[in-house]
């Protein structure tokens, strides 16, 4: 609207009177003032083209000067609209960059917190079967079955194997077919004794992790694992 007022003030008195015939330009809104100016421009254009003739006291030179001023005003209004659009886009881009910066900062904080915590590693616990002690039986929440190597099974002399159609996928994605399943093996952990079913796999015996105790066993033993303290608590009624 500021450009419209500047344009209006630059006109001579007769031209102002033509524009103010309906209502004074300074009292109009920017949109209404632009419409009034555009209507007058169209009127003069028709007059020049011969499509509309009427008696007028304005000379061709004066009309041409007014038309030039109108064209200049339209260019200024377009520039103003462009500046407003650019300002809006700039604000939106700034807001997006600010949000992105906040997200990156949050991620950096989370990574920093994670780096402060040491990898807890695998959870193991000591157990015994037939008076043979295994110091590092793996308590694996991701395993659906308890696993025992074939060599360990033979050394313990746990009896006959039952047939099973189960297959086991190892950590390296290879698939193994069990030799069978041995059921109701007595596994002692501390002062508790649990019945555990093991599938027997023909695989190299891992001295560090000789047995894998599955998720159902841990559920039966009411196992509670505290990751930060690296502590496993087993419960049997009120005893733990």
pLDDT digits (tens, 9 = 90+) for 78-133: 666 655 555 555 556 555 555 555 555 565 555 554 444 454 456 777 888 988 89
For the entire predicted model, the pTM comes to 0.43
Same domain, 86 and 187: no
206 phi and psi angles, rounded to 5 deg: -95, 115
Q: Measured between alpha carbons, how far is 214 from 147 in angstroms, rounded to an integer?
A: 8
Same domain, 36 and 89: yes
Which residue, 100, 116, 132, sits at the end of a domain?
Answer: 116
Which residue, 64, 98, 116, sits at the end of a domain?
Answer: 116
Same domain, 104 and 129: no
> In sequence order, what are the beta bridge partners of 164?
none
Same domain, 25 and 100: yes
CATH, residue 191: 2.40.70.10
* DSSP single-letter state for residue 26: G
Q: Does 36 fall in a domain?
A: yes
- Centre a 10 Å sphere on the Cβ of residue 223 and count the other Cβ atoms it contains: 19
| Domain encompassing residue 225 | 124-233
Same domain, 99 and 134: no
The per-residue pLDDT for 184 is 87
Same domain, 107 and 134: no
Does the pLDDT of residue 18 top 50, yes or no? yes
Give the number of domains in the chain: 2
- Centre a 10 Å sphere on the Cβ of residue 65 and count the other Cβ atoms it contains: 15
Same domain, 60 and 37: yes
Rounded to an integer, the average pLDDT of 167-177 is 77
Tell me: the pLDDT tens digits for 52-80? 444 444 456 666 666 666 666 667 666 66
Q: Does 240 fall in a domain?
A: no
Same domain, 169 and 83: no
Q: Does 30 fall in a domain?
A: yes
Does the pLDDT of residue 157 top 60, yes or no? yes
Same domain, 229 and 128: yes
**To the nearest whole percent, how much of the chain has pLDDT over 70?**
34
Same domain, 111 and 134: no
Which residue, 56, 90, 116, sits at the end of a domain?
Answer: 116
The per-residue pLDDT for 137 is 80
Q: Measured between alpha carbons, how far is 77 from 89 in angstroms, rounded to an integer?
A: 18
Higher pLDDT, 180 or 142: 180
Under the banding of pLDDT at 50, 70 and 90, the label for residue 161 is very high
Q: Measured between alpha carbons, how far is 64 from 93 in angstroms, rounded to an integer?
A: 43
Same domain, 50 and 144: no
């Amino acid at each position: 609207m500021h450009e419209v007022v500047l344009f209006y003030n630059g006109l001579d008195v007769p031209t102002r009177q033509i524009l103010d015939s309906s209502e004074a330009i300074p009292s109009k809104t920017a949109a209404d003032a632009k419409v009034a100016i555009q209507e007058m421009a169209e009127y003069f254009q028709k007059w020049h083209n011969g499509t509309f003739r009427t008696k007028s006291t304005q000379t061709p030179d004066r009309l041409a000067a007014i038309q030039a001023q109108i064209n200049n005003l339209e260019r200024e209004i377009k520039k103003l609209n462009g500046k407003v659009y650019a300002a809006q886009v700039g604000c939106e881009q700034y807001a997006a960059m600010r949000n992105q910066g906040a997200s990156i900062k949050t991620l950096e904080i989370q990574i920093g917190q994670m780096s402060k915590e040491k990898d807890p590693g695998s959870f193991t616990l000591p157990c015994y079967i037939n008076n043979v002690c295994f110091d590092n039986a793996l308590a694996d929440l991701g395993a659906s079955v308890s696993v025992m190597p074939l060599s360990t099974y033979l050394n313990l002399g746990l009896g006959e194997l039952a047939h099973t159609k189960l297959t086991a996928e190892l950590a390296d994605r290879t698939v193994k077919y069990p030799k069978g399943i041995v059921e109701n093996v007595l596994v002692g952990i501390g002062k508790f004794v649990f019945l555990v079913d093991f599938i027997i796999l023909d695989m190299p015996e891992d001295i560090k992790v000789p047995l894998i105790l599955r998720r159902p066993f841990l559920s039966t033993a009411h196992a509670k694992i505290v990751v930060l303290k690296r502590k496993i608590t087993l419960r049997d009624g009120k005893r733990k």
